[in-house]
Amino acid sequence: MLQDLTGVRLNYLVYCVQFLIISGFFWLYFKLIRYKITDLLYLSLLLSSIGFVGLLNTVTYVGKKEFIVFLLFTWFVYLLDRDKLSGKKEYLFCIALCITVFLHEVALFYIPYFAIALFLKTGTFEYKRYSKYFLAVGIPTLLILLFGKNVNEGMSLQILAERGYILLMEFSTGILMKGII
């Protein structure tokens, strides 16, 4: 739909959205840790391949859609750290998480991190506050389980081919999308 509205090629649209999400994540992440006092253990974990630096080393380390959740969580923790997470912003996060579940199911499995971050910041167990986040991902997940079906009824590859793109399988980097000139 965006390609039809803008006339911009699909691969450029996808690249720009991915660039914005990943750049936003790293910008917030580095703003968050910039003034933190770190010891050698924390620094070694941060710079290890299991940390976020591994994401810069290889494209296949993590899927692209996971960065949506990473961005939301980093922004969430950034606001918590600065004591700027208001009630309105919490509901915005719940809406964003609800939408994200429809884009990628991994959001369901990251919700405990939001609750842990809230608990670590407040030091108290706030059942009602945590339940907002669990419901924000639980309800769409339940809707998908009950009423969901295949997106485009399995016609995604055909739709891409009609738009001038073919998918090639490359074992070292996963699936590459190439435009037909």
Q: What are the tens digits of pLDDT across the range 23-33? A: 888 888 888 77
pLDDT above 70 for 177: no
Domain with 44 in it? 2-148
Q: For residue 176, what pLDDT is reported?
A: 47
Q: How many domains does the chain have?
A: 2
Q: What is the mean pLDDT of the chain?
A: 78
Same domain, 142 and 160: no
Q: Cα–Cα distance between 135 and 155 in angstroms, integer?
A: 31
pLDDT per residue as tens digits for the range 61-91 = 555 777 888 889 989 988 998 899 999 999 9
Cβ within 8 Å of residue 29, ≥6 positions away: 52, 74
How many other β-carbons are positioned within 10 Å of the β-carbon of residue 28?
20
Same domain, 69 and 44: yes
**The model scores a pTM over 0.75:** no
Task: Specify the 3-state DSSP secondary structure of 68.
Answer: helix
Q: For residue 47, what pLDDT is reported?
A: 58
Task: Specify the 3-state DSSP secondary structure of 51.
Answer: coil
Same domain, 78 and 113: yes
